[in-house]
Amino acid sequence: MNKVINTGIFILMIGCLSVGTTAAQNQWTPEQKAVWETETKLSDQMVKGDFQSFKDYTDDSYQSWPMKSEVPIPKAVKQKEIEYNISLGIKVDFYAAIPLVIWVNGDYAYADYYYDIVFENKEGKKTREHGRWMDVLLKKNGKWVIVGDCGGADQAHK
């Protein structure tokens, strides 16, 4: 019963945030929209199983610092983690993100957002996770790429 109530509250919160976010998106600058478009393209590709896109949308200097990690993880190690998960048959079934803040200053930007994701293993078991994330981006040769990120699952939903 508690799980049903928590899920209902989460859906209600997402709905409320979506309405507020949609209004905010109408006031985004073209650069803010371009940053969020980069975020959306990357996540769409990963849901489709195109994990090559991770290389395309991250700079060589990329560092990730998930909440579950004691230290930041460089791009090469993150790529190995992705490849390992693929070898286990893990895929992304569903992904949605709700932007909260997108800040842009010249060729630098960051995006703070809530996410909701469902993973599926090769046996068909699904695992849901939601939390918060922040990506730091750099505009390089006219294209936004992620240079760093930090975040993870909300403690209450692990």
Return the pLDDT at 53.
Answer: 87
17 phi and psi, to 5 degrees? -65, -35
Bridge-based pairing state of the strands 73-74 and 91-105:
unpaired
Which pTM was predicted? 0.80
Contact 119, 90 (CB under 8 A): yes
Specify the 3-state DSSP secondary structure of 85: helix
DSSP string, 6-64: HHHHHHHHHHHHHHHHHHHHTT--HHHHHHHHHHHHHHHHHHTT-THHHHHTEEEEEEE
- CATH architecture classification, 29-157: Roll (3.10)
Write down the domain spans for the chain.
29-157
Cβ neighbors of 141 (< 8 A, separation 6 or more) are none
Return the pLDDT at 24.
Answer: 60
Cβ neighbors of 117 (< 8 A, separation 6 or more) are 92, 94, 95, 96, 128, 129, 130
Structure tokens, 136: 């730091």
Return the pLDDT at 26.
Answer: 73
Structure tokens, 59: 């700079």
User: Mean pLDDT per segment of 10 residues, for the chain of length 158 residues?
Assistant: 49 47 73 97 90 90 95 95 90 95 98 96 95 98 97 78
Return the pLDDT at 25.
Answer: 66
